[in-house]
């Protein structure tokens, strides 16, 4: 047991965590990290390049040094390795755009009303929260999360070990940016992907499919996942970050529809934040439950045991849990 005297430091860090986020948002809005990477390192040079005040740039950069995203040597600033890889817009691993969705006014409001959500046991945004039909937040999600999703999508495509020589029929449910289906289409030239989501959201998936040069093999299916005819004969049905928005009975009901849409021997692939049975580890997956409390009526971060039960009750067999290296998410695969 530690004999160290407790201090309020951690409490105040929690109280002011929003300031970390605001500083990061300002830096991304100003394209500060990319500008430093391109050689503007002094407050004066950065102020000119970012169309900002020198005083403002100095104070913001000093804060980002404290937060360990920038380095400081004399009067100049540089990028830490983390910032260089993930916050320089020119990097193939750039994820800065994700903050646009994470700070979307709807998401921010949901947390501003978290006390009410805790009392209610579900979102205080309204009856349906972010799962309301055609909620505009999902267009922002599709555009903002492409970078993060693209990394995970490649890992999932690799995990599936699909024979590239045979035809493959794929359904990507709540496709959003479309990156999970696109990753499979890029890797397997005989794969045909159906992307299901709201029509406005699918415009983003279509843009990404064109950019990846697979648009001729990605079919758009606009509509409500619970009401739209899913089709049949799929070899793979992708469920990326979808089931967590609903309670277990609703997920089980949907999984029955997915099973009916699969060809014999077909697989459903569930990509999710999946905490351990203790529900407090690993941190990213465990804390995701609070996001669902704030934004949805009944969503949750389900454990593997809970997904396994849902899938088996829906008629699936041989469920397996897979880790995604360097990702906070896990994958559950089940065969029809």
pLDDT 10s digits, 7-37 = 999 999 999 999 999 999 999 999 999 999 9
Q: Residue 226 and residue 254: Cα distance in Å, rounded? A: 7
Query: What pLDDT was estimated at residue 63?
Result: 98
Please name which of 181, 95, 174, 89 lies closest in space to residue 139, comparing C-alpha atoms: 174
Q: 108 is written with which tokens?
A: 């921010």
Enter the pTM of the model: 0.93
Q: What is the mean pLDDT of residues 224-238?
A: 97
What separation in angstroms does the CA of 216 have from each of 53, 172, 213? 48, 16, 8
Q: Residue 246 and residue 47: Cα distance in Å, rounded? A: 46
DSSP 251-291: HHHHHHHHHHHEEEEEEEEEEE----TTSS-SHHHHHHHHH
pLDDT 10s digits, 264-309 = 999 999 999 999 999 999 999 999 999 999 999 999 999 999 999 9
Q: What is the mean pLDDT of residues 143-154?
A: 92
CATH number for 9-89 (one of 3.40.430.10, 1.10.10.10, 3.30.70.260, 3.40.50.10490): it is 1.10.10.10
Confidence band for 218, pLDDT divided at 50, 70 and 90 = very high
Mean pLDDT for the chain overall: 96
Domain locations in the chain? 9-89, 105-335
Q: Does residue 231 or residue 318 have the better pLDDT?
A: 231
Q: What is the mean pLDDT of residues 49-76?
A: 97
Query: What pLDDT was estimated at residue 135?
Result: 87
pLDDT 10s digits, 155-200 = 999 999 888 889 999 999 999 999 999 999 999 999 999 999 999 9
Query: What pLDDT was estimated at residue 2?
Result: 60
CB neighbours (10 Å) of residue 60?
23
CATH architecture of the domain formed by 105-335? 3-Layer(aba) Sandwich (3.40)
């Amino acid at each position: 047991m530690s004999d160290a005297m407790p201090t309020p430091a951690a409490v105040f860090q929690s109280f002011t965590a929003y300031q970390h986020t605001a500083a990061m948002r300002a830096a991304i809005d100003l394209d500060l990290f990319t500008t430093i990477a391109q050689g503007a390192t002094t407050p004066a040079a950065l102020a000119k390049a970012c169309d900002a005040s020198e005083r403002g740039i100095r104070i913001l950069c000093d804060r980002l040094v404290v937060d360990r995203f920038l380095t400081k040597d004399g009067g100049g600033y540089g990028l830490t390795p983390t910032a260089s890889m993930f916050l320089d817009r020119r990097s193939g691993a750039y994820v800065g755009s994700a903050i646009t969705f994470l700070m979307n006014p709807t998401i921010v409001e949901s947390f501003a009303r978290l006390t009410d959500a805790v009392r209610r046991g579900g979102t205080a945004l309204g009856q349906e929260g972010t799962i309301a039909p055609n909620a505009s937040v999902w267009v922002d999600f599709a555009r903002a999360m492409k970078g993060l999703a693209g990394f995970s999508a490649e890992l999932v495509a690799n995990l599936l070990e699909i024979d590239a020589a045979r035809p493959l029929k794929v359904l990507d449910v709540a496709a959003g940016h479309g990156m999970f289906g696109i990753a499979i289409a890029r890797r397997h030239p005989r794969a045909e992907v159906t992307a299901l989501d709201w029509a406005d959201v699918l415009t983003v998936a279509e843009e990404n499919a064109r950019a990846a040069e697979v648009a001729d093999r990605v079919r758009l299916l606009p509509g409500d996942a619970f009401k739209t005819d899913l089709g049949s004969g799929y070899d793979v049905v992708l469920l990326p970050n979808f089931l967590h928005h609903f309670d277990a009975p609703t997920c089980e009901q949907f999984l029955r529809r997915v099973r009916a849409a699969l060809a014999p021997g077909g697989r459903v692939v569930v990509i999710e934040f999946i905490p351990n049975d203790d529900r407090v580890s690993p941190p990213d997956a465990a804390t995701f439950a609070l996001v669902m409390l704030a934004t949805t009526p009944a969503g949750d971060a389900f454990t593997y045991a809970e997904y396994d039960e849902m899938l088996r009750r829906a008629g699936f067999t041989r469920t397996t849990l897979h880790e995604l290296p360097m990702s906070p998410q896990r994958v559950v695969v089940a065969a029809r």
